[in-house]
Amino acid sequence: RQLGHALIAGGVSPGDRVALFLPNGSAVVDAMAAIGAIGAVMVPISTRLGAEEVAYILEDSDASQIIFDADLRDVVDRVHASRPFERRIAVGEPHPGEEAFESLRDQPVSEPLPRLPLAPDDLVLGYTSGTSGRPKGAVGTHRGMIMVSGYMNPVEFGMTRDDRVLITSPMAHRVGLSRVVNMLCTACTIVILPRFDPLDAVDQIEREKVTIISVVPTIARMILPEIEKRPDACRTLTKLLATGEAFPVELKQRLKAVLPSLGLYTMYAQTEGGLMTCLRAEEQDARPESVGRPVPGVEIRLVDDDFQDVAPGAPGEALVRFGAPGELMTMREYFRRPDANEETLLDGGWLRTGDVLRADEDGYLYFVDRAKDMIVSGGLNIYAKEVELTLISHPAVADAAVIGVPDDVFGESVLAYIELEDGQQVDADALIDHCRDRIASYKKPKHIRFAADLPRTTSGKVMKGILRERETATSTP
């Protein structure tokens, strides 16, 4: 309430965008709560982004005010030089022309905040990870966030006030905001890592008696070896919540082996669509490769290129609907992107996910691939995700990224970038043979590249656009 009044006094009105350029910590939670309470729109920006990326988001969002950490002032100054802010609020020691976050937050205020109008209901402008181009700002609403994080999450996961939830990802990502709303709605405790480190994460699980850990698959891969070393430190864990991409079965098996009583909940979710499916703990053994069934109230259709429903069992692009866009769960729109909105928001309230899924006879869904990642070789469709998961099942492979490259005979052929487990070695022929034994021969990689580190977004997703650019540069005379 105190910080909200200070923001209002500085000219923030309902619907105004306020940028948050803050590392994980209590200040970002205070700021999120205050911005939401006064009806403004938060624009969370990952501190791992470069100055040009930060400048792009600030320019695109048209944020007039910024709350930033004093240690990040150099980046803010570079952006400010070309795009001045109306107000700069520093967490830490302010410089001339800046206001101190702590002073604004700690001013005694007795009166309540003004009641908000019914509309606008916008809460957050969350920028997509930009794996296939410039990030777009997805507008999320109060109603959508409360529906997902205040209602669906507690129902699906059995989340209560007694839970202690470890946040491993940057708070600038939607999953970080979701955990804050979990806390506000259920009175659970959140434990925030300043930055992810496997050793520190397990230390915090033990010290804080964490019951729930929230991860993306990349984080799960990184923390699992430390859990395997110290399973007793994780004895209070009851649930692991995983979202972001298809969760490899091999990781599930290792988790179950080291923590047999851990309940694993794997989800299909995205910034634009919210929480769409969940495979609950009791369903993991029967269908370990599935991303679950639609959560209550969510409709999902699988369609072909003409938006006609595909045959049962066939892959198709997923369309999702849960009320009108922005009313309950899906984004309201892309911010100031009429062309993208026309392409993504279809008649009847359906939202295009850009993801290819298939369904079995019981309605369980399986992630096949990003629609744009499909490779056509010799007239046959090859889904990169299937090849990637096959490669990851090799014990020497930590991660894999598959793309299509030009082929004089087949049009496209499969190229795989490989990130090896620490201390492991394997040659390209062995990996190709590994795939030949498990998937159709035409799907196996024709080319293998080894990389020390795959290029990733701040949420851990591999940036395939960079890999494609590398191949284009290599092949250009």
Question: Would you write out the chain's pLDDT as a tens digit for each of its 477 residues?
Answer: 999 999 999 999 999 999 999 999 999 999 999 999 999 999 999 998 888 889 889 999 999 999 999 999 999 998 888 889 999 999 999 999 999 999 999 999 989 999 998 888 999 999 986 555 578 999 999 999 999 999 999 999 999 999 999 999 889 988 889 999 999 999 999 999 999 999 999 999 999 999 999 998 878 988 999 999 999 999 999 999 998 667 888 899 999 999 999 999 999 998 899 899 999 999 999 999 999 999 999 999 999 989 999 999 999 999 999 988 888 888 999 999 999 999 999 999 999 999 999 999 999 999 988 888 889 888 788 889 889 999 999 999 999 999 999 988 888 999 999 999 999 999 999 999 999 888 888 899 999 999 999 998 877 889 898 998 888 877 654
Give the list of residues 6+ apart from residue 297 with CB closer than 8 angstroms, or none. 322, 328
Token pair of 198 as six digits: 């496997």
Token pair of 332 as six digits: 């309201």
Give the list of residues 6+ apart from residue 11 with CB closer than 8 angstroms, or none. 64, 65, 86, 87
Q: Are 166 and 193 in contact (CB under 8 A)?
A: yes
Q: Determine the angle formed by the axes of helices 26-37 and 2-9, rounding to 10 degrees.
A: 60
Distance CA 112, CA 1 (A): 7
In this structure, the strands spanning 374-377 and 397-407 are unpaired
Task: Tell me which residue of 226, 222, 244, 245 sits closest to 234, measured CA to CA.
Answer: 226
Q: What is the CA radius of gyration of the chain?
A: 23
Question: How big is the CA angle at 29 (ends 27 and 30), to the nearest 5 degrees?
Answer: 65
In this structure, the strands spanning 263-270 and 239-242 are parallel
Token pair of 292 as six digits: 């679950």
b/e sequence 356-382, b meaning 16+ C-beta within 10 Å: bbbbeeeebbbbbbbbebbbebeeeeb
C-alpha distances in Å from residue 319, one per residue of 78, 305, 322, 334, 353: 41, 12, 11, 16, 6
Token pair of 438 as six digits: 């498990």
Q: Are 263 and 285 in contact (CB under 8 A)?
A: no
Contacts for 254-257: CB closer than 8 Å, 24+ residues apart: 254/224, 254/228, 255/220, 255/224, 255/227, 256/284
Q: Are 318 and 355 in contact (CB under 8 A)?
A: yes
Question: How big is the CA angle at 225 (ends 238 and 287), to the nearest 5 degrees?
Answer: 55
Element of type H or E holding 274: strand 274-279
**Within 13 Å of residue 376, how many CA atoms lie on the same side as its CB?**
4
